[in-house]
Structure 1
Amino acid sequence: MQDDFKKEIVVVPNGADTQLFKPQPGSAEKRADLGLGQEERVIGFVGSFMPWHGLQDLVDAFEIVCQKDNSVRLLVIGGSRDQIGQLIEGNRDKRALKKIIFLGEIDYPLIPAYLDLCQVLVAPFNTKRDEGRRKLYDKYGFWWCPIKLFEYMAMARPVVVSDVGEITAYLDGA
C-alpha cells in the first residue's frame, strides 16, 4: 500500500465551460437594451456581494475612474435586491452611482452575453473587508480559486484582479 501513495499528486485546476463562455454575437442589441451608447466603454463584474468580493472597493475605484473618463459604465451582475439596495444606500454620495448598471441575479447561461458587452472584467477580491473570516485569512491566506477568473479569460477580455492567493498563482506570467 505504501507504494501506491508514493505516486505523484497532480492538481487539476478549475476551469470554465468554453462552449458557453466565449465572445457572443448580438452585443449591439444588448447594448441598446441596457441604454449603453456605442461610445461608452463597460467594466464588468460578476459575483455575489460577499464582503471579500470587494464590491465597495470597486465602487470606490469606479468613482475615481469616472472623474477622469465620463464615457465609462460599470455593469454589475449578481446580488439580491436587498444587497444591491444596501450598496446603493451606502454610496449615495458618489456621482458615479448613476453610471452603474445593476442587473442583479440572472440565469447562469445568460451571463456570457452580458460579459461580451464589457471591455474589461474585474475581480477586486479583498479579504480585509471580511471580518467574519479574518482569523482564517490570517492563518491560511486566500485559499479558494474563483471560477469567475476562468470565465472572464474565456471571454477573451482583459482581466483586472487582486494580487492574492490562488489568483496570483493562476495568472503568474500573464
Structure 2
Amino acid sequence: MPINTKKIKVAGLTVAALIAGIVTAYCSRYEYGNQYVVNEEGNKVVDQGYKEVYFGHIPETDELYAEYMVSNRWPHWFPLYQEKYGLIDIENKTATEPRFSDSLLFRFDGLAWDYEGHYVDKTGKIVVDCKYYGKDERFLDNPRKFALFALQTGLTGKSMDYLFTMKISITLLKKKPDVGDAETQVV
C-alpha cells in the first residue's frame, strides 16, 4: 500500500496548528499570583492574590491607595505579553477588574487619568467621562488638568464631549529693522 504524503503533511499541519492554538490559549490567560493585601490585624483585605501590589499616597493628603498588576503567561520579551492594572479599595475590601493598561498616577485632587478617556478615583469609579479625546504622545500627563476644570465647573459624573490635548506652538517672527529707517530703534 503506497504512503500518501499529502495526508501526512495535512495531518502534521493540523497537529501543529492544534498545538499552537492550545499554547496561545494557555499563555493568553491572565495569572494573578500570591501577593496579598493585609490590614493591621494581618487579615487579607481581598481574597485574591496578585502578581505585584503597589501602595501609594495621594499627594497632599493622607489617603492611601493600593494598585495591583496581573499579566498573561507569555514571556516579558514576547510581543503578545500584556500587563493589566487594577485598584484595591482597602476600606470597602473590594478590588476592581484589571482593566487599566498602565499604572495610575493619582494627583492631589484624588483623580487619575486611566489612559482610556476617564478620570477615576481611588476605588476605580469613573468620575469624569470624556467621550472623545485625542492625545499628543509627548504629553501623556497633560489631560489631568481638565479634571480640575471638570470639578470646578460641576461636570463631575457627567460627560465631556471632547477632550483634546496637544501642544500648539506659534513662533512670531519679528521684522528686522531696516538700517536706513529713522523710526526704527534697536535696543
TM-score bucket (shorter structure)? under 0.3
Name which structure has the greater RCO, CA cutoff 8 Å, separation 6+: 1
- Which of these two proteins has the greater Rg computed from alpha carbons? 2
Which structure features the higher share of strand residues?
Answer: 2
Structure 1 length as normaliser, TM-score? Answer: 0.23
Structure 2 length as normaliser, TM-score? Answer: 0.22
Which structure features the higher share of helix residues?
Answer: 1
